[in-house]
Amino acid sequence: MATKPRQLDRDFAASGDATELAIALNDRYGYLPAEEIIAVAIDLFRDAGGIGATSSFGADSAALLHLIAKVDPGIPVAFLDTGQHFGETLDYRDQLVADLGLTNLKIVAPRAKALAEQDPDGTLHQRDTDLCCDIRKVEPMARAVEPYRAWFTGRKRAQAATRAQMPVFEAVGPRIRVNPLARWTTEDQANYMRQNELRQNPLVAFGYLSIGCFPCTSPVSPGEDPRAGRWAGQAKIECGIHLPGLEAALSPSR
């Protein structure tokens, strides 16, 4: 029988302090299977500020979106169109949305003024990758999740050292970020994709195991860390949409 959140939790979800709420939700629901975490979170937040999801439509995206679609295909799914995606990713996005019957895709783009001022020729990534990500990803992500009290991501602890201690429910300012797949391994992901015959981003077949913008993404060799293909040759391993900069972008004073 599916777990149902308590009325007390629903009331807390609407107006409680996000940090305290995240702790309470991890204690009560963080151990559940991914599909139940998704169902609980939708039940909790649907009428308590709303809930959405974000997706890069990259190498691992299909599993989370399939799980969400089974519970509610109308959940808003935001895609950050940086203007520098692989064409294959854009095609895959549209195909996967159709496959899963998702009905509320929201495409969020960088602000034209910021691009004109900071990256008029599209080469900012060659000079300042952090600023490029801020303009093309972090600020648009803040706008994408701003309407909701909570949102889903497909992040996993096994993906990077920066995610090793990641909770299922975490506070980001006044909002809750929900990571239903936090405990999944690479094998869990592969098994789920295979068992449910989910479409895969075609770039995976060419060694692109972590897929972002084309100027800063490269294929990796067999056995290599999948994220080694992001910002290769740099210390950078995160674009920033899951780091403290997002909280700053979401602050009312910005």
Separation of alpha carbons 126 and 121, rounded Å? 11
Q: Are 106 and 140 in contact (CB under 8 A)?
A: no
- Is 239 annotated as catalytic? yes
**Which phi and psi (to 5°) does residue 170 adopt?**
-140, 145
Separation of alpha carbons 220 and 213, rounded Å? 15
Q: Are 234 and 127 in contact (CB under 8 A)?
A: no
Burial of 158 (0-12, 13-18, 19+ CB in 10 A): middle
> Could you say which of 133, 213, 216, 239 is catalytic?
239
Q: Are 209 and 57 in contact (CB under 8 A)?
A: no
Q: For residue 52, which amino acid is it? A: G
Separation of alpha carbons 45 and 176, rounded Å? 10
Catalytic residues: 239
